[in-house]
Each structure stands twice: as C-alpha cells, then as structure tokens.
Structure 1
Amino acid sequence: MLNNTVLRVVWGCLAFGLLAGNIAQAQQTVFNAPSADVMPLGETFLQHESQFRTWQPGRFIVNTEYYAHGIGHNIELNATLFNLNAPPSDNIALGLGFKKIVPLLPKKWPQRELKLTVGEIVPISLQGEGVGNWTYAHLSGRVPKLKTRLSAGVSTGTRQIFGRTTVGFVGTYEQPITRRLQLQGDWFSGTHALGFFITGFSYALPGNVTLFGGYQIPNNKRSGRQGFVFEMAKYLK
C-alpha cells in the first residue's frame, strides 16, 4: 500500500496546480532532463511529477516537486524536492541551484534556436546523507522545417539524487504537433536513479494548465522498473 504521507503530497500539489495563476508556454524540464528554456525575469514555474507503477512486481511511486524563478540575463533559480517515494526512499533531498542559457548565433540563424544550457543543483539530503552536486550542460537547436528541438550533453551527479556518483550522456527531443500538443522524450545514460528513456507528450489545456504524460523504460534492472510518468506545470507572473 502506498504511504499516506506521499499520497497527501501528490494530491496537494495537484490541487494547488489547478488553482494557481497563469502560465506561459515553455517548460523547464522535458521529463527528467533540463530543457533549453528558462523563466523570464520575475516569472515563476511550479511543477509536480509522479513516476509510478500500479502493478506487481515492483509497484512504486516516485514524486518530485520543481520550483523555478527567473532573475533575468537568461538565468533562473531552482529549488527541487527529490524522491518522495513509496516504498520509502533513503535519499530524499532538497536541491538548490540555477540554470542559464546562452543563445548561439541568434542573429545569423534565429530559427535554429541554437543554445548552450548549463546548470548546477546542490542537493542537501534530508535524511542525514550529506550534501552533493548535480552539474549538467547541453547544446540544443531546432531542425529546419520540422521544428524538432534536439539537445545533447553531459550530466554528472552524486548519490543524494542519483543513488550513486555518475557521469553520462543526457539527450532530449521535442516535436511540436499543434499549438498545444508536443511529442517529447529524454534519456540519461548509465545505471542510476535517473537511468531511463522516457517518451511521451505535453498538452496545454484551457485554464493555463499544461499536462505531461509518458512511459519510462530503464536502462537496466538496477536503474529501476518500467512505469508511467505524469506531470502538471504552472507558470505564474
């Protein structure tokens, strides 16, 4: 049976998301991987994510809560609560950090949206496991005509988030279908708590709510199990 405290956190976040302010059409993560978007100056991003499996063997739920606030100069500040899980996790952590994007050749190729994205998160264990780090960087751009945004880069982090120290590849794809619907996915290489390929979609609903749905496939059995991914995002001005 799922832990009651975790369930209350999930439903509380969903209720808050349905009642809170207005959104702008952008996203701060694809699923687990950071996107090439940052919040504009003075705007705030909130997101709840649940990864879950409702069947045996290995039924689980993993919850993550994201917060970002734009401070200008293509920089946002981030706070993330990781690993509110059932069965219970031994690596619940509060991550504090930033993300910055650097546009590349914006005047020569504006439609390509070439960007360098870099970020740092300092996870502080809430269960006495110390302080770690998560550092990432990737290059991104859009494919002409198709408007597919692709990114590829490097991610390195410690056990407070990943369950072990790891260095590996991170990549994403984002394919607009309509003004509201987008197909998307991301992948972290390696054996760790984020070692999944996740593929799915995002959809901007009326009422300024964006929903995300996907399915995760682990790199191997040690990374975890297959399951569904659900997210809901709000952007506050």
Structure 2
Amino acid sequence: MPALLLLTPAVPAHLARLPPRRPAILLLALLLALLAAPAARAQQNLFNIPSADLTPQGKVFFQHQSNLYGGGYWEAKNHLVYGLGKGWEAGLNVVNLQMNFRRGNEWLGINRADRRVPLAPLVKLTGQKFFVLSPRLSTSIGTQVGLNPVRFGGQHRDLTHFTYHLWKWTPRHHVKVVAGPYLSDRGTLGAGNRAGLLLGGELPLSKKLLLMGDFISGSNYASVSVLGVNYLVTKRVQLCLGGMLPNPGSRNRAGLVFELNLLGYDPDADEPAAH
C-alpha cells in the first residue's frame, strides 16, 4: 500500500499464539485496595485514559508518553492542557508518533490506508467539561477531535474523534477511582469495537510514590491494561513507569510505558473546583 509506510503495529505470529491474559485482574486488585490507602499528593493523569482531574484556570499541564516494544518499535504521545475556568479545559494532543529503529531508511511510521490500525500520526484538539457533585464525586464529558496531517498521492485527510464520559470517586484525599464509557471510530481505534469502558485508579504507597493503573476494554488498538508507579520528583514534576499488557483477542503488543508529567501549578495549593 503506497500510503502506508512501514510501521503497522501488527503482532508477530509467535506473539499472536500466546495464551490469553487477564491483566484487568491486577487493576481490580488495585481498586479494591484504595479504601485503605494513605494520603499523598495527587497526580494529574493516568497512563492511557483521559484525565479526570481539572486543570486550574490559567494553568497548564503537559505530558509526554513513550511506549517501548520489542523489535526496536517505539510510539509516543504528547498532551498539552490549559485550564479555562468554570469547569472547562482545552488542549492539544499529538499522538501515534511511531518509529522503528531497525528499518534503516524507512524508520518513520505513517499510516494512511491500513484500516486495521489507527491513522498515524494524529493531531487533535481536546475539550473537557467537569461537574463536581460532592466532595468525593465528580463527572466530566470530553472529546478529542483531529486529523492526520500527512498527505500522500493527493489523498484527503481523515477526521477522527475519541469521546468519553468519566466519573471520578475519591474515597480519601488524593486517592481515586475513575470509570466511564467511551465512543470512537476506526481513525483512532483501528479494527475492533468502537465503544467500551475506561477504568483507572491510583493508590499512594508513600508521600513520593503512587501505584496506578488503567484499562481500556475491547479488542481495538487501544485495548490494553497498564499497571505501574508514579514517582513524584517535585510537586510539579512526575516520572511514571508501567508495564503494558494487551487485552485477550486484541492482537496488541506488550511493552513498557514511560511518562513525564509537568504541572504548571501545585496540585494541593491550586486544586480547582468546577461548577
């Protein structure tokens, strides 16, 4: 396919034959342990699901995520969010940046034609509205809408979206469970289901270390579970490391996830309230 340059994330045959895993069990164990958790400073975002934390008005949040797979394959995502006030935030996502360092001159992954996997790369505008229902319960509705900026052979760009409705329950200070449905399309998810469930949570282990994980249901390209830790270097700098496991039947790859979070505010001092 002339519009598909290399890096389609198809799973090698020997990986496709591996027995099904159930990584969501690990995440469930994390969520069940939340009620007994000690307090620690909150983090702004989980690994793969959208943030259920509101960015304060006039403040910014930036996240870089790198996914490392076998065979020299690398994928990156970048998120920039700005707090608009009155429960609103907006931002810019640049995702599906793919490289394979073992491909010689053909190391950059650009997907325009293979409908089994998402468009790559993608640039999306984001927006999210938050509603605080009680000191422990809040909800938000958000969407990420964008297109693939790279064109080949006169082909038009495709518009794609990822829309979600999240609920966040905070049983203790800076301890949270996040859950809700999502709806998307093939440009973002590739082959597989278009709707499903988002689930995530974080559990403070100490004042500097959080155990966290998230899960995206289904059998599409995004259907994985990640379980890892977040080290709070300072109030505004966080380093995260996790293991990523594919959902059974998704044919995704296992890998490592690295994140860098930069907050333009102190989470405790500038904790916002939506209306």
The TM-score with structure 2 as length reference comes to 0.68
Give a deviation string over 1:68-127, Cα, whole Å, max 9, x none.
00010121102100100124141211110212221112xxxx3xx211121111021223
- Alpha-carbon distance between aligned partners in 2 of 1:228 and 1:235, rounded to the nearest angstrom: 23
Bigger relative contact order (CA 8 A; separation at least 6)? 2
- Alpha-carbon distance between aligned partners in 1 of 2:99 and 2:235, rounded to the nearest angstrom: 31
> Which residues of structure 2 form unaligned runs of 5+?
1-5, 7-40, 101-108, 112-118, 151-155, 266-275
The letter for the 1-side match of 2:124 is: G
CA shift, 1:137, in A, is 0.7
CA shift, 1:219, in A, is 0.7
- Alpha-carbon distance between aligned partners in 1 of 2:143 and 2:94, rounded to the nearest angstrom: 15
Structure 1 206/173 Cα, relative in aligned 2: closer, same or farther at 3 Å?
Answer: closer
* Correspondence 1:26-175 to 2 at 5 A: 26-53=42-69, 55-56=70-71, 59-87=72-100, 88-90=109-111, 91=119, 92-105=121-134, 110=135, 113-127=136-150, 128-143=156-171, 148-164=175-191, 166-175=194-203
The TM-score with structure 1 as length reference comes to 0.79
In our comparison, the structure showing a higher alpha carbon Rg is 2
Query: Over aligned residues, Cα RMSD in angstroms?
Result: 2.2
The letter for the 1-side match of 2:129 is: K
8 Å contact kept, 1:78–1:99: no
Structure 1 151/207 Cα, relative in aligned 2: closer, same or farther at 3 Å?
Answer: closer
SS at match of 1:133: strand
- Alpha-carbon distance between aligned partners in 2 of 1:207 and 1:62, rounded to the nearest angstrom: 27
Pair 1:226-2:254 in alignment: yes
Identity within the alignment, %: 26
8 Å contact kept, 2:218–2:250: no
The letter for the 1-side match of 2:93 is: T
